[in-house]
Structure 1
């Protein structure tokens, strides 16, 4: 997302960076865990920290196996390439990350077609739309192979019944199922459900460690052993095989052990900020999990936030404000004061 060019207060300090939860940095305890990590060569499969993290996350989500990847984009790509052959098709939401923000990698690198569906207001795909999108067995069409869903979507935690209705439509047509769970733990926090309840209906799930969980890098793809084995081969082909990656896996393990339950704090702060912006009558305000969206009223000059030390992306047309663990109490107070000032 484009960001305002002036990003600091007059004293040159960024007091709060609300562009995304991807800006989080490792805390001292996470850095200590990284420094103490056991390492090996993960391409050979002998990095104990990577193996431990993969096994731990697979068990938590009720899957057979897992694969550590450098990014969520690569994790999703590996899933699509493992599920689909050339000339086959992924059905997904047109506003979902796999279609809008991943450079059509499955098409460019795997010869996989992408069929975009409209996304409902709650972030779900309608079961009838999924059924209508599935191609008949005809040589003129790609072969519908995979349904890819997303939770959360734009911060919205899609309800389990809505997810299940889409899954059922896909299963009825013989499709495989993938979940882009970049903010999977935000979803379960908002839904109040078990990890296995959200992951269970899907063959594969991609989990990001470097957003609200605060790890510096990495995502994990979980699923059946045969699919994960294919994804591991694809990871090597794409240059994603890492050597002594245990230092990164240690950060992921720390995040999974310590930073999941605290996501509720980000959600509560987002609710607080949304109430504050609404009271200031700055425009239309909505809030989902750790994200607040502001569609500013005409004439409101939000670029002034930068002079107060608040870093944001530019409105497109809504301003997205993402709360995360690196927003301090002082930074949050400065954020609220900055919006009051520009009002």
Structure 2
């Protein structure tokens, strides 16, 4: 095993901290910074930024949809989708632990008067089809109007099967609902499953993707869907402050990520498996093998918070909101992963 302290001191591009909190912590590569510097820009509020326009066309075609809209964040992209699909007094069906429901400040309810109908997520992230069907309200003034089904892929790093998403969307559409996918890590799902992003996006009326996670851009998301839906979302984006000016600088970073950082997501997945294998071999650690770049682990004696602090003291950052969570990304390498395993072993032995 490589001694990480030695490695960090001898490798000029190696981090001194192994940051496994999230794939959002990635820094722009030198090549990405060059792409930003070369970007041709204009005023995107006037529709004059050629780099943004080209990226929107590229992403819409990539996901097999008519149109796309650049957003500063995934939270804003999901919010604009929900408000474009639903009106005041409408309802969307969503998982109890879904990001759009649990981790985005209740934006749909606060800003759109849209009622969420949360349903239990199964361990693989799915919502049982019978639960979805039972939650759809009849057309009656006593009830909020059920308008939308929102799913998420990946889910805690796990890939929803196309068999499931097709069935869930077919059910929703048959009952008159639209469908939205929070695809923040959809490219991870595509690489892990061997399917195209257009295949994964096909059954959904709208999809949100993120450039600032595994793809390594500093900022940015994209909402895709029909031209009519994107026109409505464009109005919402303006209302929530998402209209930006020379945003082609950011679009250039996202475009570079799409060109150069998608295939390499397989490296992140391999590092996650390396970490999971190393942790699983330690006494007192339990986990489920990861499908993509996220590893969840539990410490059997309840010392998870203490382990997080110990890791931090040795230069390894992780989160513990839901068990222990480690996320691999382009700024993490094998030496860093081995260091994380070694420090965990040291803690458990003590």
Instruction: Report the TM-score range of the alignment, normalised by the length of the smaller protein.
Output: over 0.9
Is residue 2:313 matched to residue 1:296?
Answer: no
Determine helix, strand or coil for the equivalent of 1:125. Answer: coil
Alpha-carbon displacement from aligned partner over 1:96-132 (angstroms, at most 9, x marks no partner)? 0010001111111111110001111211111111110
* Structure 2 contact 93–118 (Cα < 8 Å) conserved: yes
Determine helix, strand or coil for the equivalent of 1:67. Answer: strand
Is residue 2:184 matched to residue 1:182?
Answer: yes
Distance in 2 (alpha carbons) for counterparts of 1:252 and 1:299: 40
Shift of 1:329: 3.5
Decide which of 116, 129, 134 is 2:131's aligned counterpart: 129
Which residue of structure 1 lines up, in the alignment, with residue 200 of structure 2? 198
Distance in 2 (alpha carbons) for counterparts of 1:299 and 1:197: 41
- The structure with higher relative contact order (CA 8 Å, sep 6+) is 1
TM-score in terms of structure 1 length = 0.94
Shift of 1:196: 1.3
Is residue 2:42 matched to residue 1:36?
Answer: no
Figure out how many residues of one structure are paired with residues of the other and give that number.
Answer: 331
Decide which of 267, 276, 279 is 1:277's aligned counterpart: 279
Determine helix, strand or coil for the equivalent of 1:288. Answer: coil
* Structure 1 contact 41–244 (Cα < 8 Å) conserved: yes
Distance in 1 (alpha carbons) for counterparts of 2:114 and 2:321: 30
CA RMSD of aligned residues (A): 1.3
Shift of 1:339: 1.7
* Structure 2 contact 271–333 (Cα < 8 Å) conserved: no
Which residue of structure 1 lines up, in the alignment, with residue 57 of structure 2? 55
Alpha-carbon displacement from aligned partner over 1:270-309 (angstroms, at most 9, x marks no partner)? 1111111011123211223101111112164402111211
Decide which of 68, 71, 94 is 1:69's aligned counterpart: 71
* Structure 1 contact 188–198 (Cα < 8 Å) conserved: yes
Task: Give the unaligned 5+ runs of structure 1.
Answer: 1-10
Which residue of structure 2 lines up, in the alignment, with residue 306 of structure 1? 312
Is 164-173 or 59-68 further displaced after alignment? 164-173
Determine helix, strand or coil for the equivalent of 2:207. Answer: strand
Distance in 1 (alpha carbons) for counterparts of 2:335 and 2:277: 18
Determine helix, strand or coil for the equivalent of 1:77. Answer: helix
140 and 289 in structure 1: CA distance in 2 versus 1, 3 angstrom threshold: same
Shift of 1:316: 3.4
Shift of 1:317: 4.7
Shift of 1:190: 1.5
Distance in 2 (alpha carbons) for counterparts of 1:14 and 1:231: 42
Distance in 2 (alpha carbons) for counterparts of 1:189 and 1:224: 25
1:195-234 residue pairs with structure 2 within 5 A? 195-234=197-236
Which residue of structure 2 lines up, in the alignment, with residue 5 of structure 1? none
Distance in 2 (alpha carbons) for counterparts of 1:175 and 1:148: 10
* Structure 1 contact 14–311 (Cα < 8 Å) conserved: no
Determine helix, strand or coil for the equivalent of 1:240. Answer: coil
Is residue 2:91 matched to residue 1:85?
Answer: no
Is residue 2:331 matched to residue 1:331?
Answer: no
* Structure 2 contact 271–334 (Cα < 8 Å) conserved: no
Distance in 1 (alpha carbons) for counterparts of 2:166 and 2:98: 18
Is 28-37 or 275-284 further displaced after alignment? 275-284
Distance in 1 (alpha carbons) for counterparts of 2:260 and 2:335: 23
Determine helix, strand or coil for the equivalent of 1:58. Answer: helix
Distance in 1 (alpha carbons) for counterparts of 2:340 and 2:235: 46
Moved over 6 A (4+): none
299 and 114 in structure 1: CA distance in 2 versus 1, 3 angstrom threshold: closer
Shift of 1:14: 4.3
Distance in 1 (alpha carbons) for counterparts of 2:298 and 2:334: 25
Decide which of 53, 76, 101 is 1:99's aligned counterpart: 101
Determine helix, strand or coil for the equivalent of 2:81. Answer: helix
